[in-house]
Structure 1
């Protein structure tokens, strides 16, 4: 369980920073690349991560799940998407800090209408982002681009016993 919203926001900021490192590895020509027609493109995934931040915040602020989408109206270029990601992160961070620790003891509804502790939804925010960042990593590798190492080293560089 999460006990302090400020500590949680710091944790979330670290995840956001690692996602932004991925932005630097994406060439412009791959922004709308996708493995098949029925999948999200790299740009869709990044816009989706950003829009989901606002969706999650809406649960705590308004008690409703509203998704603003992941189409190019939320950013058509890497720079625009980067700005959208930053803006959504700022809104999420400021919103959670404004709500404060009181949110941690509240109940909210899931998408399926089940009541759960709000901290469970808070836990799904980083899980959601990390899931989609993993997709971006796979997409980059499918295009022969080495994704960033989230902690600076490949496993082969870690000393073995």
Structure 2
């Protein structure tokens, strides 16, 4: 199995996990904030989805500059979030399928203006700048669900709400 086949498996798995979280929320939950320093649930969902979509929006480039390339996704409905995840999934899959093994090894730079945050091979950017980052924030979403008394979906095994 090559790099792209492995990433396609992960792309499917993680997108499905995010879908399962999205199935649990409604528009009435989007303005919920557990703390004044926290993002709203809607903005956090938007961030998770935009991180998914960095596969197609960011990795094909050799440099991603947060000052010029990043436009925060501020959704206003669950339907908008679901649509962004689904349309992004299609583009993400095409992006991974079309990247050569050599492309995965090319240096990818994350910047904020002139400041270099990270320079890693694209394979590393996929793993820790995109996926580990989105998994972290999806974990936060599950805490929001728990605080709202919404059953938490199992992600890597059954949750306490799914155990018999």
**Secondary structure of the residue that 2:28 maps to in structure 1?**
helix
For residues 119 and 80 of structure 2, what CA distance do their matches in structure 1 show? Answer: 36
Which is strand-richer, 1 or 2?
Answer: 2
Partner of 1:118: 122
Partner of 2:74: 71
1:132 and 2:133 matched: no
* Cα distance change of structure 1 residues 79 and 113 upon mapping to structure 2, 3 Å threshold: closer
* Cα distance change of structure 1 residues 46 and 154 upon mapping to structure 2, 3 Å threshold: closer
Given that residues 50 and 89 in structure 1 are in contact (C-alpha distance below 8 angstroms), is that contact kept between their aligned partners in structure 2?
no
Given that residues 15 and 52 in structure 2 are in contact (C-alpha distance below 8 angstroms), is that contact kept between their aligned partners in structure 1?
no
Aligned match of 1:153 in 128, 152, 158?
A: 158
For residues 153 and 53 of structure 1, what CA distance do their matches in structure 2 show? Answer: 23
Given that residues 109 and 116 in structure 1 are in contact (C-alpha distance below 8 angstroms), is that contact kept between their aligned partners in structure 2?
yes
Q: When the two structures are superposed, what TM-score results if normalisation uses the length of structure 1?
A: 0.82
Report how many aligned residue pairs link the two structures.
Answer: 154
Partner of 2:104: 104
Q: CA deviation at 1:20?
A: 0.4
Q: When the two structures are superposed, what TM-score results if normalisation uses the length of structure 2?
A: 0.80
Which is helix-richer, 1 or 2?
Answer: 1
**Secondary structure of the residue that 2:120 maps to in structure 1?**
strand
